[in-house]
Amino acid sequence: MASFSSVTDLKPFKTMWKIRVRIIRLWKQYSAAGGLTIEMVVVDCNGVKIHASVKKDLVNQFDPQLSEGSSKIFINFSVGQSCGSYRTTNHQYKISFLETTRVEEPAAITLALKNLVGKTYLFKVGIERENFLYNHDTYKVTKIITNDEIISEFDTKVYPKGSLILSAESSEEVE
């Protein structure tokens, strides 16, 4: 089972799921009936959110691996109906961890980026306009301009006197 499922695809009666998510909310909850549980809201790369829960018997097993804001891969969990008067997401299902559930760290650097590690590059990223207009949480990169292209762009551009050039390190006025 190599590929990841989308949170949208999750359905009950199967436990062999594998998803890549980011934990956007995490809290511990105590109730007399259920004891101490870990509750989370997670989101996948499509922006689809789902509630996830770790029951009292498994809290010690999973607590060290889970933290708010971190990205994780969840493997082998159950999916059940999300019910109750207070729901943390609009998703009709929720995730429940099992004894056999595995939590893994996603590869920090994809294979395509491994050659960049330890090297310094000058680059510019182009992002689709709609990401800003509709305030999306994730951005689709449409173009990466490398060293040579940026250098030639700055060599050929003429900036009017008195214009402001902004960079990540400083802003200078052209004289």
For residue 143, the one-letter residue type is: K
pLDDT of residue 44 exceeding 60, the answer is yes
pTM over 0.85? The answer is no
Question: In the chain, where are the structural domains located?
Answer: 7-104, 122-173
Question: What is the dihedral sign for C-alpha 129, 135, 140, 144?
Answer: positive
Give the length of the chain: 175
Q: At a CB cut-off of 8 Å and minimum separation 6, what does 122 contact?
A: 146, 147, 150, 151
Cα 60 versus chain centre, distance: 25
**CATH code for 7-104?**
2.40.50.140
Report the percentage of the chain scoring pLDDT > 90.
50
Residues 107-136 have pLDDT tens digits of 755 555 555 666 666 555 566 666 666 666
Residues 57-87 have pLDDT tens digits of 999 999 999 999 999 999 999 999 998 888 8
The encoded tokens of residue 73 equal 């891969």
